[in-house]
Amino acid sequence: MKELSAGGHVRIALECEKKSKKSTPPEGGNVSLLEEAMWTAYVNGRRVGYAVRREASEGDLAVMQLLSTVSVGVGVLPGDVVDAPAGAEADGEVAYMRAGFDRVVGSKDSESFYMINPVGGAGGGTELSIFLVRV
């Protein structure tokens, strides 16, 4: 979040490893890129750790329901408004960003999402890009 508040363009890259032919699922199908479970995370080219795919918790769903009327915006929900979902700050506050994204599929091993900025933003370009790559 601090990269977003500092202004400029933020690039988030999530990389996962290709599975060898021997380790493909017994069903014979490949795992969809969005179904991958473990990712190495980079922000603006700097490795920041790992990301793990998970199902939405009840707290996550409550926050999404609360924000269902918000079409575009960024903010912080105080801890007394919602039960803090997994990944929330220690004081219970939940930061959120709601926007439209353009999805670009490069191949079965790469997809990207570009935030659509309705105001135009700095230089009229996107402020947030998310890249998913299987290497």
pLDDT of residue 74: 87
Instruction: Tokens 């601090």: give the residue.
Output: 2
Which tens digits make up the pLDDT trace of 76-125? 888 777 665 555 555 778 888 899 999 999 999 999 999 987 776 555 55
pLDDT of residue 60: 86
Sheet strand arrangement including 46-52: 46-52, 38-43, 10-16, 128-134, 110-116, 100-107
Mean pLDDT of 2-14: 79
The mean-pLDDT minimum among 31-35, 45-49, 58-62, 104-108 falls in: 58-62
- Please answer whether residues 36 and 134 qualify as being in contact, where contact means their C-beta atoms are separated by less than 8 angstroms: yes
Confidence bin at 19 (pLDDT 50/70/90): confident
| pLDDT at residue 126 greater than cutoff 80 | no
Residue 62 CA to residue 49 CA, distance in Å, equals 27
In order, the DSSP letters of the chain are -HHHHT-S-EEEEEEEPPPPGGGS-TTSPPPPGGG--EEEEEETTEEEEEEE--PPPHHHHHHHHHTTT-SSEEEEE-TTTS---TT--TTS-EEEEE-EEEEEEEETTEEEEEEE-TT--GGGS-SEEEEEEE-
